[in-house]
Amino acid sequence: MSRFILCICVALLQLVSGEVVDTGFKYGQLELILNCTLPDDSVSWFKNGTKLENREASQEKSKLEMTKVNGVHELKITKPKIGDIGSYTCEGMGKATTDFRVAMEPIVAAMAQSFNIVEGENFRLPCLVYGYPTPSIEWLREANEGEWETLPADGHFMFEPNNEEIVNGTLVIKEIKIEDRDNYMCRASNEIGNHNGTTLIRVIDKYAALWPFLGICVEVIVLCAVIFVCEKRRNKKQFDESDNEQNNTKHASNAKDSEVRNRK
């Protein structure tokens, strides 16, 4: 008799506890269907404890449609979005339930195509990620064309949480060097899949802004030197011409005096 009662208790416990189904979707997927096989004629659907109703799609929300097809209760989510991730429950009239955990493949938000950083500065590169369960983040660097290697946390490269408090969500490069110029990748992964974003970090010589100024200074100095030499040569030529004129005048005067004396 006690064994029979124990079997009944176990069966009731299973009925109340229900089944848990793990599923998920990828960004851009056309639809996600949750199938509930409870034998009840009708069921209620809940998301994170809130009862759901049929609804049309809007800019913020996906279309929800609850139907029964061939004895199976369906919750159809058309063009699922980030807001559709979470825990869903199909509850029968007898309070039996089937639970669903809806996950989403990670999405790395578009990163800037490139950054120009001055040598010696500290640089922070956040990686904005969506997904459920919370994705793990890994940072990589392009060692050779098409070949990526994981970045070490060695003090020069460091990792901090991003604004969403996701571990390793921000890459920090301390006192960036010229040799740090490269393509960098943020790779996000969870049980549904992975996604990545890349960017190019350029490092500018800290004296780069000084070189044009120095070039202009050199040009001005050279120009001044040329002007000085030309002026000096011109003045010397004028002096020589003036000296020659004086000599010629003196010679002419002497010749005239000599001629007058001869006549006398």
Q: Please tell me the distance from the alpha carbon of residue 18 to that of residue 203, in angstroms, as a whole number.
A: 57
Q: Which amino acid is at 25?
A: F
DSSP state of 180: G
Digit-by-digit pLDDT tens for the chain (264 residues) are 434 332 322 233 233 446 789 999 998 899 999 999 999 999 999 999 999 999 998 888 899 999 999 999 999 999 999 899 999 999 999 889 999 999 999 999 999 999 999 999 999 999 999 998 999 999 999 988 889 999 999 999 999 999 889 999 999 999 999 999 999 999 999 999 999 999 999 999 887 666 676 678 888 888 888 887 887 777 666 655 565 565 556 555 555 555 555 555
The span from the CA of 177 to the CA of 110, in Å, is: 25
Q: What is the pLDDT of residue 258?
A: 57
Q: To 5 degrees, how large is the angle CA 153–CA 126–CA 111?
A: 120
Predicted local confidence at residue 10, as pLDDT: 28
pLDDT for the residue numbered 20: 87
Q: How many CB atoms lie within 10 A of CB 85?
A: 20
pLDDT at 252: 54
pTM of the model: 0.67
How many other C-beta atoms can be found within 10 angstroms of the C-beta atom of residue 166?
A: 19
User: Coil, strand or helix: which one is 52?
Assistant: coil
The structural domains of the chain, ordered by start, are: 15-106 (2.60.40.10), 109-204 (2.60.40.10)
Residue 41: per-residue pLDDT: 92
Strands in 50-193 per DSSP E: 50-51, 63-69, 72-78, 86-92, 97-108, 114-118, 123-126, 129-132, 136-144, 147-150, 157-160, 170-173, 182-189
pLDDT at 244: 59
Output the six-digit token pair for 143: 């060692």
